[in-house]
Amino acid sequence: MATVNELDKKRMLMKRDTDELVRVHEKIAESSWRATYHVQPVTGLMNDPNGFTYCNKKWHLFYQWFPFGPVHGLKHWYHVTSPDLIHWENRGVALLPTGKYENSGCYSGSAISEGDTIYFAYTGNYRDENRVRRPHQLLATLEGDEQYTKAMRPLITPNENYTEHQRDPKIVRIDDMYYIFLGAQNKQEQGVILVYCSDSILTDWKFLGELKVKGYENGFGYMVECPDVQKIGLHDVLIFSPQGIEPSKDEFRNKFNSVYLIGDLDLETLTFTPDGPMQELDRGFDFYAPQCASQNIYSDCSIMSAWFGVPDYTYPPTDEEGWSGLQTFVRELTIRKGKLYQTPVRGFEALKKDELFCAKNGEIISDKLHGQMPSSAIIRIENPDAESLDLNLFSRNYVIARGFAISYEKYTKRLRIDRSDLTNQLNVEYGTDRQIILENGLTSMDIFVDHSTVEIFVNEGEYVLSARIFPTKEEHMIRMGGKNLNLSIWSTEPSVDDAPVFFAENQ
């Protein structure tokens, strides 16, 4: 890993650092693992998405950012914008940890837009003279594209009835009131969600109490991070990232997971009544801290991004190059037959460049690509009566090496992904494969590959599996076998600006 000393971990971005970071970016940009259609850090480390909203005819996405290396140092917010959730432009740093209550970083939060103004609620990571953490929930605004203003006083001060772990405010407007849902840990070290309300974004936030989730009276693990509440159709959806959830057969196998519950939210009684059990949002290896856009021009779905990573995981190939992290491809959330479906955001077809080939009924496809697996591609597999699938991406040869393996057998209805055969191994203590039983069988699969990422949308979004991979130069082949399957592969156009922008023009 690129080393960052303890002093540099506390370093805040200054304009005088620009030339240094431009040189760092020039080196990073040469990496074969840089993405072409995923948002990625201009330098350093990226983690949680923040402040996701729509305002002034643009989508605004912010993310947790440490500019000076692939470590969780002093957190800033970085800003990117998009007209369509496909094409993204770097805009520069948004929030710098300059205030008293953010002396240890501008931590995660959310946004809500009204008129031409975006309002941010975020956690100020404040430590007193004894290094005791006292988290405050802070307010900032964005006028236009570049004028950031921070409120003088916190929106919410630390709640002394809970531990120091209070963070990640999600601000929403419901009817004529504003609510903040806050991840927290109670004194029994259980993960809970706190609820605050006000009739004004700017002031007078009152603590209503804990959100009671029926069937989960003992909380969720030891901490809840990144709570989110969405109205999708007639259903309320509670999304969050609990820490300390035990694995259960094929589920919850990552160190930390992100989950959802579909049900009914009653704000008068602060009760959420689930329709069914807690479900993982993503059944792959690398997914955490999802956030839905607070303003949404689409009435038929919610819009979600997430960190393409997991806390405490390491990603040595890019860590050694001095950068870490990406955002997932943006997803649309809908509910069908009582289940949450996730699909690539509409308009993704604009990414498709050339159809490289089609293959039918499991024919061998390696020869058609002259042995080359495209580093960036979209793959579509479909057949309503699939018997089996054996797809190997980024393998080293035709016969033995499996690369990143995707397999399915109709007899067992088991879908499996396995990255154990790749040269660069990642976080193997949490397993090298993931499996799902597809009760209704396999009918389709959309696979998005972008140099160091794989996202698999199964059965039109019934399940999603996300994985980071770091194929070597020798791992460049593709092979497919199976019965009753059709496959198409497209190369892709780049859609994400990777310009080294660190400050907006008027900052």
As annotated, the active-site residues are 48
Which tokens belong to 386? 């699939």
List strands edge to edge, sheet with 477-483. 433-437, 414-418, 404-409, 388-395, 477-483
Nearest to 402 by CA among 413, 385, 412, 416: 416
Letter for the amino acid at 73?
A: G
Report the C-alpha gap between 395 and 401 in whole angstroms.
Answer: 5
Q: Which SS3 state, helix, strand or coil, does residue 422 take? A: coil
Q: With residue 22 as reference, give the H or E element that holds it.
A: helix 18-28
Report the C-alpha gap between 419 and 496 in whole angstroms.
Answer: 27
Nearest to 51 by CA among 71, 34, 76: 76
Residue 466, CA distances (Å) to 43, 100, 160, 266 in order = 23, 38, 38, 33
Pair 393, 373: CB distance under 8 Å: yes
Pair 467, 432: CB distance under 8 Å: no
Pair 155, 131: CB distance under 8 Å: no
List strands edge to edge, sheet with 89-95. 89-95, 76-82, 58-66, 44-55, 323-324
